[in-house]
Structure 1
């Protein structure tokens, strides 16, 4: 009899326990969902019509203000990076992988040299994704964003593993027996012009992007791969990745120890620089600057808005430090690098865990005090402090107003002040940069 009644009782008790556990699990899941909500505020696929507009409400203004304060704190206080740095220090022989992300005319070539000049233990690549973009460019002049993002990610992953095979498939003309005379800006990478990869010069073979410090023949990518594996650290500079989130698989690849440095610059300064460097592509802007009649619905203005949004969304994601980016992301403003190059270089090296060598320091001192006659628009040797304010005397106030309208949230996030008059624009006594150092 006891056995007869005990079985139903046990069964009933078990049901009660299971129900309680389900309630507990449900409550825990709800809490986890609430905690994760802030990390999903920025959705790249979110339609533009659903995004909050500039100056819509006090709430949106407060959010952008808090975003800037978060950026400011992250740039001032490196305590967020110390756990990762300590872990890296525990394994001193572990390789460091560095990806410098930017857009064109943000000073990325200059900042990239901080790592190119590091010495014999750094393998540096300058814009390898140029080949990928060129191959994927459509007849309209653009690219399929989804296809390009995947290709950029896969090529970068292979290159950080010192595998050039995937990049080879994008080089035109195709390398023969892994040898090419067409690698974009080979001379901008000291690693690709070193003695180990400097094959004998071949008379009659034209190499457009030749080495400047020695006369080398076409680049043997097999030798480049071997040289890459021999180096202790690897760094790549790219201005072609649109969204940081697309590179998440690289951060989660256990074979890599990847750090992301996102370099940003005042969009007004970027536009002024592009109008000079890429005059043919920016002829509409140049015409508007001349006659003062800006067509705000023009595709070029829409493109500027899209570029600003991509930069801002990547930075917002990096600053929020989701689990896959924790300790792996650093935001740097070009204006701070230009004004305080040695200090910012030191901070970047501290973040990456790579030694800040005397060779780099000497290069910075030499390159930031260059005369006005040194180099051209692509030169990395300039008086860096002069570059910060030059745009204010080249860009008409009417154009500045358009940039401020379409890139307002980006300007506010990074601490760039709005110009309200022509007098303010050219008044050097008024700084347009929020101090964060």
Structure 2
């Protein structure tokens, strides 16, 4: 009889012990999860805690929000984000360099105001504050800052970006966000605070009269949007974003936009005339010296773009089905087709609103096609540089950027006549992104 009672008692005691162990494990797990949430993104991320001097050096904080307040804000942001993680949200990063048509491509996503939160060049503020007196930046520091700011912005947290905006936002309100008017999401009614007389906003909304940007309202709008897209020309190495690609909260995809380096130089000479004055004069036969550092810089830019593309196209595990290479020339020639391909890649529905915008903005007249305008006659843009870039400069670019030209399928020219002959295409038919 004792044996009959002993066995059930032993089983009961065992179950009680297991239950207690499970509770202990659960509490430890909860603490570890909370600890991870409270950490700043992608350790070490000291940028959010250390304000920057005007010269970009890192200094101890003088006036800081309490750590409790900051952590509480991050917990609230995480909680809101967690509720919608299962909704199929898409995060897209558009990577490019200046004068490659990235503003136009960004607009393809900016048109979907109802379900898209789009940011135009938020890293402009980071680059400006990290720029050294010599005119350059510490590449390692800049890469980490860019990565951490992008991660927080994709999570709708503007707190780290605020540390780079000058003058510093007061109560999360700023009149100085770079190109605010280029983001429909930052100018919609829910983010439009009352207009304040006497307060000048550098990049005021064009669609409605709004006051300075309230970043708390912007964060709320971001959290309610199904998809998030950021455009930047300031990330030079795709490898530096690996931790973002591996962040399970983001499910991030990259669209990498490239353009013929000869066309890029021709466009920059027109858009940034003062910076390229010597290039133009030298090409026209004026006796001025071209700084060898400028040629090395040109080569370095081309090499960075090429190496990032080689990594993306090789489809390592961390980039598998996350990377798409797009040539500007293909978008200009076949805007509707390429736009549909990009939307298919992202998994975001391609709407009639976007189609209408493409039809309107790829057949613009000369009167509306300004240097910085997104309204272009796209077919003409592909060939235009061939008649503005001196042959002498085309040869310099081909020597400095030869490997990039070959990878992206751009043909070399050997004579001035070949450069200016429209019947000769300088674009090879090439298929990328074989998944």
What range describes the TM-score normalised by the shorter chain of this pair?
0.7 to 0.9
Cross-structure match for 2:51: none
Task: Name the stretch that deviates more: 217-226 or 110-119.
Answer: 110-119
Matches within 5 A, 1:132-147: 132-147=126-141
Q: Which position in structure 1 is the counterpart of 2:422?
A: 428
Q: Map Cα deviations across residues 229-254 of structure 1 (whole Å, 9 max, x no partner).
A: 00000000000001000000000001
Task: Indicate the SS of the match to 2:256.
Answer: strand
Kept in 2: contact 1:296–1:402 (CA 8 A): no
Q: Pick one of 254, 265, 268 that aligns with 2:259.
A: 265
Q: Mapping of 1:277-316 within 5 angstroms?
A: 277-291=271-285, 298-316=292-310
1:125 aligns to what?
119
* Corresponding residue SS for 2:375: coil
Describe the superposition over 1:384-427 as per-residue Cα deviations: whole angstroms up to 9, x where unpaired: 11111111001111110000000000000000000000100100
Structure 2 gaps of 5+ residues are 1-84
Match of 1:108 among 102, 105, 110: 102
Q: Does 1:171 align with 2:165?
A: yes
Decide whether the 8 Å contact of 2:93 with 2:252 is kept in 1.
Answer: yes
Highest relative contact order (Cα 8 Å, sep 6+), 1 or 2? 1
CA contact (8 A) 1:171 1:183 kept: yes
Task: Name the structure 2 match of 1:236.
Answer: 230
In the alignment of these two chains, the number of paired residues is 347
C-alpha distance in 2, partners of 1:388/1:121? 32
From the superposition, tell whether residues 293 and 345 of structure 1 become closer, same or farther in structure 2 (CA, over 3 Å).
Answer: farther
Q: 3-state DSSP class of the match of 2:263?
A: helix
- Asked if 2 retains the 8 angstrom alpha-carbon contact of 1:101 and 1:239, the reply is yes
- RMSD of the alignment, in Å? 1.3
1:358 correspondence with 2:389: no
Secondary structure of the structure 1 residue equivalent to 2:274: coil
Q: Distance in 2 between matches of 1:316 and 1:231?
A: 33
Q: Which whole-Å CA distance do the structure 2 matches of 1:283 and 1:252 have between them?
A: 43
Q: Which of 248, 255, 271 is residue 249 of structure 2 equivalent to?
A: 255
| Correspondence for 2:176 | 182
Counterparts of 1:32-431 in structure 2 under 5 Å? 93-291=87-285, 298-431=292-425
Shift of 1:292: 6.3
SS at match of 1:330: strand
1:297 is displaced (CA, Å) by 5.9
Deviation at 1:118, TM superposition (A): 1.9
Runs of 4+ in 1 over 6 A off after TM superposition: none
The alignment partner of 1:268 has SS state of helix
TM-score norm. by structure 1 comes to 0.78
Alpha-carbon separation, structure 1, partners of 2:411 and 2:290: 22
CA distance in 1, matches of 2:333, 2:289: 35
Pair 1:140–1:398, CA change in 2 (3 A): same
Q: CA deviation at 1:284?
A: 2.0
Structure 1 residue 182 displacement after superposition: 0.2
Per the TM alignment, residue 294 of structure 1 is displaced from its structure 2 partner at its CA by: 7.9
Residue 281 of structure 1 aligns to a residue whose secondary structure is helix
CA distance in 2, matches of 1:407, 1:428: 22
In structure 1, runs of 5+ residues without a counterpart are 1-90
Contact 1:109 1:380 in 2 (8 A): yes
Deviation per residue, 1:51-74 (Å, 9 max, x gap) = xxxxxxxxxxxxxxxxxxxxxxxx
Which stretch has the larger CA shift, 139-148 or 256-265?
139-148
User: Would you say the 8 A contact 2:278–2:289 is kept in 1?
Assistant: no
Secondary structure of the corresponding residue to residue 330 of structure 2: helix
* SS of structure 2 residue aligned to 1:388: helix
Of residues 132-141 and 324-333 in structure 1, the stretch that sits farther from structure 2 once superposed is 132-141
Any conservation in 2 of the 1:292–1:398 contact (CA below 8 Å)? Answer: no
**Is the partner of 1:291 in helix, strand or coil?**
coil
- C-alpha distance in structure 2 between counterparts of 1:247 and 1:324, whole Å: 10
TM-score (norm 2): 0.78
Contact conserved, 2:99 with 2:264, CA < 8 A, in 1? Answer: yes
- TM-superposed CA distance for 1:375, in Å, is 3.9
Q: Is 2:364–2:375's contact at 8 Å kept on the other side of the alignment? A: yes
